[in-house]
């Protein structure tokens, strides 16, 4: 095969040792879209894949657990992950990695969360790794290569991967499609609020966690939990191994974290033992491949000179109704492909 550079080999070994700087560097590499990085990234990933797919000597090595968290801003996602992560590290012997994705993706400029010190204590815990969100700027497109970042974390020995959705996105589907379990955090609030949570998200949810179940909010939290329980009962089941549930916690007092975790473990066990987890991850990998193909093609298409020359006029005509959208799309695609065939190389 291919010759692996010393730099890549060193990075690989650093990741396997769980060296944080190597983990950060490796994630930056796999997230990069620069052509020079792509080659090195692919080398690193194939080394990691070989390693991860090898049956481990200690048969007891547990299957990692990838959990995605979403919820409206202010619900307490950061507070919850900080509390829950520390609790898992301190009492359950888990090793946690926290990644963030921005499903809205199109945001530019300073992200509101960018400068916030996220999960202060967890990020300093020995058995945790918190991927800092870049200050200012985007998180690099729609969860670009988050699957690969997850792989890096798992190779580094993190058995529990939290993927937090930051930003208010419509593309929640993509987050749900990168994790084993999709968790929606909600505040204690009345039925009206429940209406506000998009049905589309509810249909993807494996677990609803009502946060802030403390003090004056506690009784409201219990009512909210009941509301979600009944709402979940009317949704079509995602798979035959799990019925979505609702639980409640206080991230401030840590109340309910233990039962929240038991529920999660129950889910994980059901998915692992039925073989559904491996099947689900397999399907996710295939969809990730097609997403990347789609992104890459659209990117190239938009950068193409031929298309650029054509786009303005065609958009005008589509806008005014002179040309049908489908017809314009065909024209753009044909011109792009024609041009690609001629190609710069050959």
Give contact residues for ligand GDP (rule: CB under 6 A): 71, 73-79, 211-212, 214, 250-252
Q: Are 306 and 340 in contact (CB under 8 A)?
A: no
- Complex with ligand GDP: residue 41 or 78, whichever CB lies closer: 78
- Complex with ligand GDP: residue 142 or 210, whichever CB lies closer: 210
Tokens matching residue 125: 């815990």
| Separation in Å, CA 303 to CA 59, 264, 296, 307, 335 | 49, 44, 11, 8, 13
Tokens matching residue 91: 């009492």
What is the closest distance, in whole angstroms, from the C-beta atom of residue 71 to ligand GDP in the complex? 6
CA 105 to chain centre: 12
What strands lie across the sheet with 245-248, from one edge to the other? Answer: 128-130, 96-101, 160-165, 65-70, 181-186, 207-210, 245-248
- DSSP letter for 129, please: E
Helix ranges (DSSP H) in 32-164: 35-53, 77-91, 120-124, 146-155
Helix ranges (DSSP H) in the chain: 6-16, 20-31, 35-53, 77-91, 120-124, 146-155, 172-176, 191-196, 199-202, 218-233, 257-274, 276-303, 305-320, 325-342
Q: Which residue is nearest to ligand GDP (CB)?
A: 76
- Complex with ligand GDP: residue 252 or 331, whichever CB lies closer: 252
Closest to 118 measured CA to CA, from 129, 102, 104, 107: 129
What is the closest distance, in whole angstroms, from the C-beta atom of residue 214 to ligand GDP in the complex? 5
What is the closest distance, in whole angstroms, from the C-beta atom of residue 72 to ligand GDP in the complex? 7
Strand 65-70 to 181-186 pairing? parallel
What is the closest distance, in whole angstroms, from the C-beta atom of residue 15 to ligand GDP in the complex? 28
What is the distance between the alpha carbons of residues 342 and 346, in angstroms, rounded to a whole number? 8
What is the closest distance, in whole angstroms, from the C-beta atom of residue 239 to ligand GDP in the complex? 28
What is the closest distance, in whole angstroms, from the C-beta atom of residue 75 to ligand GDP in the complex? 4
- Complex with ligand GDP: residue 152 or 210, whichever CB lies closer: 210
What is the closest distance, in whole angstroms, from the C-beta atom of residue 99 to ligand GDP in the complex? 15
Strand partners, 242: 239
- Complex with ligand GDP: residue 152 or 264, whichever CB lies closer: 264
- Complex with ligand GDP: residue 84 or 242, whichever CB lies closer: 84
- Complex with ligand GDP: residue 44 or 75, whichever CB lies closer: 75
What is the closest distance, in whole angstroms, from the C-beta atom of residue 111 to ligand GDP in the complex? 12
What is the closest distance, in whole angstroms, from the C-beta atom of residue 112 to ligand GDP in the complex? 9
- Complex with ligand GDP: residue 58 or 117, whichever CB lies closer: 117
What one-character-per-residue DSSP string does 139-190 give?
SSTTTTTHHHHHHHHHHTT--EEEEEE-S--STHHHHHTTSSEEEEEE-S--
- Complex with ligand GDP: residue 35 or 74, whichever CB lies closer: 74
């Amino acid at each position: 095969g291919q010759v692996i550079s010393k730099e890549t080999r060193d990075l690989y070994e650093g990741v396997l040792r769980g060296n944080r700087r190597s983990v950060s560097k490796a994630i930056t590499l796999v997230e990069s879209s620069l052509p020079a990085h792509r080659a090195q990234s692919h080398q690193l990933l194939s080394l990691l894949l070989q390693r991860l797919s090898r049956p481990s000597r200690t048969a007891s090595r547990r299957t990692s657990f990838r959990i995605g968290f979403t919820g409206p801003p202010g619900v307490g996602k950061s507070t919850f992950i900080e509390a829950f992560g520390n609790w898992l590290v301190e009492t359950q012997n888990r090793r946690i990695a926290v990644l963030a994705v921005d499903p809205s993706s199109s945001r530019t400029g300073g992200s509101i969360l960018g400068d916030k010190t996220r999960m202060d204590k967890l990020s300093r815990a020995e058995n945790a790794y918190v991927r800092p969100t870049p200050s200012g700027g985007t998180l690099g497109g729609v969860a670009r290569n988050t699957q690969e970042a997850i792989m890096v974390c798992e190779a580094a020995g993190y058995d529990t991967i939290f993927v937090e959705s930051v930003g208010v996105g419509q593309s929640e589907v993509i987050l749900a499609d990168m994790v084993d379990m999709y968790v929606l955090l909600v505040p204690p609030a009345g039925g009206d609020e429940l209406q506000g949570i998009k049905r589309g998200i509810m249909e993807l949810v494996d677990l609803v966690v009502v946060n802030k179940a403390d003090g004056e909010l506690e009784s409201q939290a219990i009512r909210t939990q009941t509301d979600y329980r009944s709402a979940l009962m009317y949704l079509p089941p995602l798979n035959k191994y799990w019925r979505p549930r609702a639980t409640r916690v206080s991230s401030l007092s840590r109340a309910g974290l233990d039962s929240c975790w038991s529920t999660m473990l129950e889910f994980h066990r059901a998915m692992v033992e039925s073989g559904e987890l491996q099947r689900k991850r397999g399907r996710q990998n295939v969809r990730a491949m097609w997403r990347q193909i789609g992104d890459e093609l659209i990117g190239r298409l938009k950068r193409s000179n031929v298309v650029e020359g054509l786009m303005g006029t065609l958009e005008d005509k589509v806008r005014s109704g002179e040309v049908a959208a489908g017809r314009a799309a065909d024209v753009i695609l044909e011109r792009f492909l024609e041009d690609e065939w001629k190609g710069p190389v050959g």
